[in-house]
């Protein structure tokens, strides 16, 4: 059963502004990359399409506190921990770290995102649905110590 995951990537030039800093919206893209990697590692589909049915995980809530800038060429780690598993949603805690040249890490952001499992109804509306057993069997809440780790660990 999975409750946390870390993805690593480099900052691309196209993700920065004229000052060479990562635009805030890209932090959410990094979190979605880690979420995709987490779901894949857990063996859970992010999007299911069956004949006449679309099931996915839209956002119900997202918030982020930015604590250090990221720049073109930086290598970052995006750490995801499952904060809560509810009947119809999952709450993720994200921490994004910049790998420094001396081997240390600096926390650049801390965020929580709530995602709901939904299906697209025939009239085009999103309807939340309960998490199926195969998801509950593969994704669990992280232990308290994983959620309470200091920012550089």
Domain at 72, CATH number: 3.10.129.10
Residue 116 is predicted with a pLDDT of 96
Q: Are strands 118-120 and 53-56 parallel, antiparallel or unpaired?
A: antiparallel
CA 84 to CA 76: how far, in whole Å?
25
Residue 153 is predicted with a pLDDT of 47
0.75 exceeded by pTM:
yes
Query: Would you say 78 and 42 are in contact if contact means Cβ atoms under 8 Å apart?
Result: no
Task: From first to last of the 153 residues of the chain, give the pLDDT tens digit.
Answer: 799 999 999 999 999 999 999 999 999 999 999 999 999 999 998 887 666 677 889 999 999 999 999 999 999 999 999 999 999 999 999 999 999 999 999 999 999 999 999 988 888 888 999 999 999 999 999 999 888 866 544
Adjacency order of strands within the sheet including 4-10: 4-10, 75-85, 89-99, 105-116, 59-66
**Which of 23, 39, 132 has its CA nearest to residue 80?**
39
Number of domains the chain is built from: 1
Q: How many residues does the chain have?
A: 153
Residue 46 is predicted with a pLDDT of 84
CA 45 to CA 151: how far, in whole Å?
30
What DSSP element (H or E) covers 82?
Answer: strand 75-85
In a domain, residue 99? The reply is: yes
Residue 151 is predicted with a pLDDT of 56
| Residue numbers of the domain that contains 51 | 4-145
Query: Would you say 62 and 26 are in contact if contact means Cβ atoms under 8 Å apart?
Result: no
Query: Would you say 64 and 113 are in contact if contact means Cβ atoms under 8 Å apart?
Result: no
Residue 51 is predicted with a pLDDT of 63
In a domain, residue 67? The reply is: yes
Give me the residue label for tokens 């770290």.
Answer: 97
């Amino acid at each position: 059963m999975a409750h946390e995951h870390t993805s690593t990537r480099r900052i691309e030039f196209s993700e920065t502004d004229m000052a060479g800093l990562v635009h805030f919206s890209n932090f959410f893209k990094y979190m979605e990359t880690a979420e995709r990697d987490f779901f894949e590692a857990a063996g859970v589909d992010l999007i299911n399409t069956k004949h006449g049915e679309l099931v996915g995980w839209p956002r119900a809530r997202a918030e982020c506190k930015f604590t250090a800038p990221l720049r073109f060429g930086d290598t970052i780690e995006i750490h995801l921990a499952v904060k809560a598993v509810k009947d119809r949603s999952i709450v993720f805690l994200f921490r994004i770290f910049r790998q420094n040249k001396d081997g240390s890490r600096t926390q650049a952001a801390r965020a929580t995102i709530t995602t709901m499992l939904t299906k697209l109804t025939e009239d085009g509306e999103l309807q939340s649905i309960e998490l199926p057993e195969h998801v509950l069997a593969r994704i669990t809440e992280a232990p308290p110590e994983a959620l309470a780790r200091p920012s550089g660990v």
